[in-house]
Amino acid sequence: MAKPTQIFLSGKIDNLIFYDFKGKPCVRKAPIKVRQSKATKASAKLFGLATSMSAALRQGLATILPAKATHKNMYLLNTALLNWLKEKRSKTTGPSNSLSALHGLSFNRDSSIYSYLNRSITVDWSKKDRTVVRIPALTPAKDIAAPVRTQSVIWKIAAASCAVSNPSAAEEKAFAELVMNYDNDPVAVQSIELPFSIGRGDLAVVVISLQYRVAKNGGTSLVTNSKWMPVDLIDAAYW
């Protein structure tokens, strides 16, 4: 209840608060109490979970994600994970990769692997102690777009997982690298085995990046133009 203090008011009238600050009379609006609905609370909980999962997975994928786009990577993955959490998930007897919200996620908006690659990469999650990434048979100079004077293409492959119920850190992570000469010689199917397995309640992802080494000044150097640095989430699975 307001009361006179000298010639000023001190206290609250309706949504206004009168008070003294360093001898000067002041007034401000009272804070508004916001009551969250059950739906709002559930949405906030999902958002928090998506953020925690994103942090754990990005930790496991740190060797492959573009360092200069840290915040963009975070927001892209946060959004994709939040959309996935909103989807209905059925129980399966093994890992399922029917995760449409995560498929096709690119961490570099300037380029995408499938814009440059005329083949599809597959991931086999069925093994107990390893995950197999298969790069199909191809002819590099015909099936992979590349900048001029390219000498070789470097494939970087990373896998990471986190527990959906408690995503405090990456559960598992693995990394592999493959170098292909950029020429017209056919390359057979490449099966890259990662010492990586997915457990019940885990979400796992495989991310692949391409790097190009070009001839320059009598030697070679890596291309640093973001147009030629695709980093894509190739597949994801949940059990």
Domain residue spans of the chain: 1-33, 38-238
pLDDT reported for residue 36: 58
pLDDT reported for residue 24: 82
pLDDT reported for residue 40: 67
| pLDDT tens by residue, 11-62 | 777 777 878 787 788 878 777 665 656 666 777 888 999 999 999 999 999 9
pTM as predicted: 0.81
Dihedral through CA 164, CA 168, CA 173, CA 179, nearest 10? Answer: 100
Three-state DSSP state, 235: strand
Q: Please, what is the average pLDDT of the chain?
A: 87
Q: What is each CA distance from 45 to 40, 52, 55, 62, 234, in whole angstroms?
A: 9, 11, 16, 26, 27
At position 87, the amino acid (one-letter code) is E
| pLDDT tens by residue, 168-226 | 877 889 999 999 999 999 999 999 999 998 888 899 999 999 999 999 999 999 999 99
Asked which of 53-57, 66-70, 134-138, 156-160 is least confident by mean pLDDT, the reply is: 66-70
Taking the C-alpha atoms of residue 192 and residue 190, their distance in angstroms, rounded to an integer, is 6
Q: 238 pLDDT band (50/70/90 cuts)? A: very high
Q: 239 pLDDT band (50/70/90 cuts)? A: confident
Of the two residues 64 and 31, the one the predictor is more confident about is 64
